[in-house]
Amino acid sequence: MRSGAENTGSNIKIYVRELRKNIGMIFQQPNPLPTSILKNMIMPLKENYKAPREYLREKAIEKLKTAALYDEVRDRLKRNAFFLSGGQQQRLCIARALMLELKILLFDEPCSALDPIATFKIEEMLHELKKECTIVIVTHNMEQAQRISDYTAFFFKAKL
């Protein structure tokens, strides 16, 4: 005889797969791909959808603008993303995640290794993005959490 938990296990696996299609993760350290800025941007769509090249380029530019990066890289879209500064790489990774129109974005200390100007740009972007999707941020920076959060959960000694 099977228990209810065993029966729901397969349903949970299916649900998790669907859930993952709607979640993007931005890590503490930027992780651009070892290719051009433009190819970094179009890779997520190219892997999952068939679309004309011009559409992909336009969408990439739109998301680079959302990430407050386009004006800084507009003349270098074919240049390797590794030549960008740390803050620019982080904004590139955020813009790349935005290409898939995700419903949830998870950020793990997104500004911990960045200078104050890059941090400000990312925080400004997050204020705009939270109108379009759910954002979850893990941070040790309480001031940052206060500046950008609608709701804050504080964990201390494994307690909420």
Is the CB of residue 31 less than 8 Å from the CB of residue 93? yes
Number of H helices and E strands in the chain, helices first, is 7, 3
What is the separation of C-alpha 143 from the centre of its chain, rounded to a whole number of angstroms?
A: 21
E strands present in the chain: 23-26, 104-108, 134-138
In the predicted model, is pLDDT for residue 89 greater than 90? yes
- Residue 1 is predicted with a pLDDT of 40
SS3 of the chain: helix, strand, coil, percent, to 5 = 50, 10, 35
Residue 8, pLDDT above cutoff 60: no
pLDDT at 2 over 90: no
pLDDT greater at residue 60 or residue 19: 60
35-57 pLDDT, tens per residue? 999 999 999 888 777 888 999 99
DSSP letter assigned to residue 139 = -
CATH class in words for 19-148 = alpha beta
